[in-house]
C-alpha cells in the first residue's frame, strides 16, 4: 500500500481551552494547572527571598525592601487568590478522582446524566466558597492592611 | 422556508485532499434540508448532487457502528444521530475529529486509538484457557456484578471522547478516555482474573489513568452515555484501594461456572434454529 500523506490535527494547548462542550470543568482543569504552576513559582521565589536572612540582617532588610510596595501587594493578593482556588478545587478533585463524587455506573438512558452532573453541585459550592474567601481576603489586603 | 418544510442550510465543510492540498480549507455547500434530516443525510445529498469527492466514514446510520464521529459546530458527535435543525439555524460547521491525523476531508485516522485500546487488554483474561475457548457452560455473574461495568460496555469506539479530551490534545502518549474506560470495564468484570497484570500495565508511564485530571468533557460529549470519566475515576479508586490492600476486585476469585443446581437448560418455548441453507456451513 502506498504511504498516504496525513495532516496532523492535534489541538495542542488550544485543546485545553476550546472544544468538547465547553463545560466549566474544562476551565477549572486549566485554572488548576495554571494556579498550581503559579504557586510553585511563588514558592521558589519565596525561598530565594527568605533565604537572604541567612546572609545577615542587612541583606534581609534589603531583600524585603525589594518586594514591598503596591505592585507586590497586588502580587501577593494574586497568590492568595490562586491558593484559595487551587485548594478548594483540589478538595473537589480528590473526592472526584477517588470515585466518591462520580456516582456508580448506571444505565445510560437518554438524555444522559454523567458523573459530571453528579459532582457539579459540589463544584458550585466550592467555587462560591472560594469567591467568598477571595472577597474577604481582598477586604483584608486592601482595606484593613493598606490603611 | 419553502414547500414541504425544506430549508436551505450552508454546510461549511473542512476539506483536505492529501494529493492536492498542503493544508485543510473550508468549502461551503448549500443544502436544501428536509425536516428530520440528519447531518449524515445532508452529507449524502452533497455527495450525490454536488461533489462526489466529499469523503467521510459512515456505515450503520443509526449510532451503532461508531464510524461517523465528527466535529459539528466545534463539538464532537455522531453525524448519523444528530438532526441538522437541532444544532444549527443557518450554517453548519463540519470538521474531522481533532487529536487524530486527517486522512482526507472528514476522515480521521483512528488507528492510534485502536492501538491503545488493544494494548490495554480489552478482553477477559483467566487461567482456564480451555474452558474459555471451548466453553462447557456460562460463568456465573450476579446482576450487581454486571451493573459494575454494563454502562461502559456500550462504547462504540467512535473517538468523540478522544477529540474532546484536553489531556489527549497535548499528550499523545496518554491512553485517553476510550481505551481507559474499556480497560476499567474488564478490570472490574467479576469473570476476569488478571488484576495484577492490568495494574502493572496501568502503572507504566502515561498509559494509566493518572494523567486524567477530570475535565469531564469526554463524558459530556459521549453519544452513547458511556461516561468514560466515571470509569477512569473508578479505576483510580480501585488502584488506590488496592494500594491500601482494600480492593475487593484485586482479591476476588474469578467467577466460576454456573453451579449445577442453577442450570435451567434450554427453555421449551424457544424454537430450534432453522436448518442451514448451504451444505457444510461450519
Ligand atoms: C491545600 C492545598 C492544596 C491542595 C488541596 C491541592 C490539591 C491538588 C490536587 C488534588 C492536584 C491534582 C489535580 C488533578 O489530578 O487534576 C494538584 C495539582 C497540582 N498542585 Fe496542588 N494542592 C494544594 C496546594 C498546592 C501548592 C501550595 C502548590 C505549589 C507549590 C501546588 C501545585 C500544584 C501543581 C503544580 C499541580 C499540577 C497541576 C497539573 O498538572 O495540572 N498545589 N493539587
Ligand atoms: S466512550 Fe463514548 S465517545 Fe468515547 S469512543 Fe466510546 S462511545 Fe465514543
Ligand atoms: S475526564 Fe480525563 S479522560 Fe475525560 S476528557 Fe477529562 S482529562 Fe480527558
Ligand atoms: S454511521 Fe454508524 S454510528 Fe453513525
Find which of B57-61, B140-144, B275-279 is predicted with most confidence, using mean pLDDT: B57-61
- Angle subtended at Cα B29 by Cα B23 and Cα B33, rounded to the nearest 5 degrees: 140
C-alpha cell at A58: 542587612
Which atom number of ligand 3 is nearest to the Cα of residue B211?
7
State whether B217 and A25 contact (CB < 8 Å). Answer: yes
- Residue A97, domain extent: 24-144
Q: What is the pLDDT of residues A123-136, one digit of tens each?
A: 999 999 999 999 99
* Residue at A15 is within a domain: no
The residue whose C-alpha atom lies closest to atom 3 belonging to ligand 4 is B63
| Minimal Cβ distance to B214: which of A15, A97, A110 | A97
How many structural domains is chain A composed of? 1
pTM of this structure: 0.92
* Residue at A74 is within a domain: yes
Mean pLDDT of the region B75-100: 97
Q: Burial of B161 by CB count in 10 Å (0-12 exposed, 13-18 middle, 19+ buried)? A: buried
Going by pLDDT thresholds of 50, 70 and 90, the confidence category of residue B279 is confident
The pLDDT assigned to B179 comes to 98
Domains and CATH numbers, chain B: 3-108 (3.10.20.30), 111-260 (1.10.1060.10)
According to DSSP H, which parts of chain B are helical? 39-49, 84-87, 111-119, 129-133, 143-147, 160-164, 166-170, 177-187, 195-202, 217-221, 228-243, 248-251
Residue A79: closest CA among A32, A110, A43: A43
The pLDDT assigned to B3 comes to 66
* Residue at A30 is within a domain: yes
CA pair distance A127, A134, nearest whole angstrom: 10
* Residue at A4 is within a domain: no
Integer CA distances (angstroms), B127 to A32, B149, B192, in order: 44, 21, 10
The pLDDT assigned to B136 comes to 86
* Residue at A90 is within a domain: yes
Element (H, E) at B210: none
CA pair distance B86, B259, nearest whole angstrom: 51
Q: What is the pLDDT of residues A44-93, one digit of tens each?
A: 999 999 999 999 999 999 999 998 888 999 999 999 999 999 999 999 99
Mean pLDDT of the region B116-127: 95
CA pair distance A88, B256, nearest whole angstrom: 45
Q: Return the CATH number at A48.
A: 1.20.1300
Per CB-CB distance under 8 Å, the chain A contacts of B219 are 114-116
* Residue at A3 is within a domain: no
Flag whether residue B221 sits within 8 Å of chain A, measured between CB atoms: yes
Secondary structure (DSSP) of B233-274: HHHHHHHHHHHTT--HHHHPPPP-BPPGGG-----TTSPPPP
Amino acid at each position: 500500500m502506498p504511504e498516504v500523506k496525513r495532516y496532523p490535527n492535534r489541538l495542542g494547548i488550544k485543546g485545553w481551552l476550546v472544544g468538547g462542550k465547553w463545560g466549566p470543568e474544562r476551565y477549572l482543569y486549566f485554572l488548576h494547572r495554571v494556579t498550581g504552576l503559579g504557586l510553585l513559582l511563588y514558592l521558589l521565589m519565596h525561598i530565594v527571598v527568605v533565604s537572604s536572612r541567612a546572609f545577615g540582617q542587612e541583606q534581609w532588610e534589603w531583600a524585603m525592601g525589594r518586594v514591598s510596595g503596591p505592585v507586590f501587594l497586588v502580587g501577593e493578593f494574586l497568590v492568595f487568590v490562586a491558593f484559595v482556588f487551587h485548594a478548594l478545587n483540589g478538595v473537589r478533585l480528590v473526592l472526584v478522582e477517588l470515585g466518591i463524587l462520580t456516582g456508580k455506573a448506571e444505565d445510560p438512558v437518554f438524555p444522559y446524566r454523567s458523573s459530571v452532573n453528579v459532582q457539579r453541585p459540589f463544584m458550585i459550592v466550592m467555587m462560591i466558597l472560594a469567591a467568598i474567601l477571595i472577597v474577604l481576603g481582598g477586604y483584608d489586603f486592601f482595606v484593613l492592611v493598606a490603611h | 422556508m419553502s414547500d414541504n418544510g425544506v430549508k436551505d442550510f450552508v454546510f461549511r465543510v473542512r476539506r483536505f485532499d492529501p494529493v492536492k492540498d498542503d493544508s485543510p480549507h473550508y468549502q461551503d455547500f448549500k443544502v436544501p434540508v428536509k425536516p428530520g434530516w440528519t447531518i449524515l443525510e445532508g452529507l449524502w445529498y452533497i455527495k450525490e448532487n454536488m461533489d462526489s469527492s466529499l469523503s467521510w466514514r459512515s456505515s450503520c446510520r443509526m449510532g451503532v457502528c461508531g464510524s461517523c464521529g465528527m466535529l459539528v459546530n466545534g463539538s464532537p458527535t455522531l453525524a448519523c444521530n444528530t438532526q441538522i435543525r437541532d444544532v444549527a439555524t443557518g450554517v453548519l460547521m463540519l470538521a474531522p475529529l481533532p487529536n487524530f491525523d486527517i486522512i482526507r476531508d472528514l476522515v480521521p485516522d483512528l488507528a492510534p486509538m485502536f492501538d491503545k485500546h488493544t494494548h490495554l487488554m480489552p478482553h477477559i483474561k483467566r487461567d482456564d484457557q480451555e474452558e474459555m475457548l471451548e466453553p462447557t457452560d456460562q460463568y456465573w455473574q450476579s446482576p450487581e456484578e454486571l451493573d459494575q461495568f454494563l454502562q461502559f460496555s456500550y462504547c462504540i469506539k467512535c473517538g468523540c471522547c478522544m477529540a474532546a479530551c484536553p489531556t489527549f490534545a497535548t499528550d499523545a502518549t496518554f491512553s485517553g478516555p476510550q481505551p481507559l474506560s474499556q480497560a476499567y470495564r474488564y478490570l472490574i468484570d467479576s469473570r476476569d482474573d488478571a488484576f495484577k497484570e492490568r495494574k502493572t500495565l496501568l502503572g507504566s508511564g502515561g498509559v494509566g489513568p493518572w494523567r486524567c485530571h477530570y475535565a469531564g468533557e469526554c463524558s459530556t460529549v459521549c453519544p452513547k452515555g458511556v461516561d468514560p470519566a466515571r470509569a477512569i475515576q473508578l479505576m483510580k479508586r480501585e488502584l488506590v484501594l488496592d494500594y491500601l490492600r482494600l480492593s475487593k476486585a484485586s482479591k476476588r476469585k474469578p467467577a466460576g461456572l454456573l453451579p449445577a443446581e442453577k442450570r435451567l437448560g434450554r427453555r421449551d418455548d424457544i424454537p430450534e434454529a432453522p436448518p442451514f441453507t448451504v451444505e457444510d456451513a461450519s
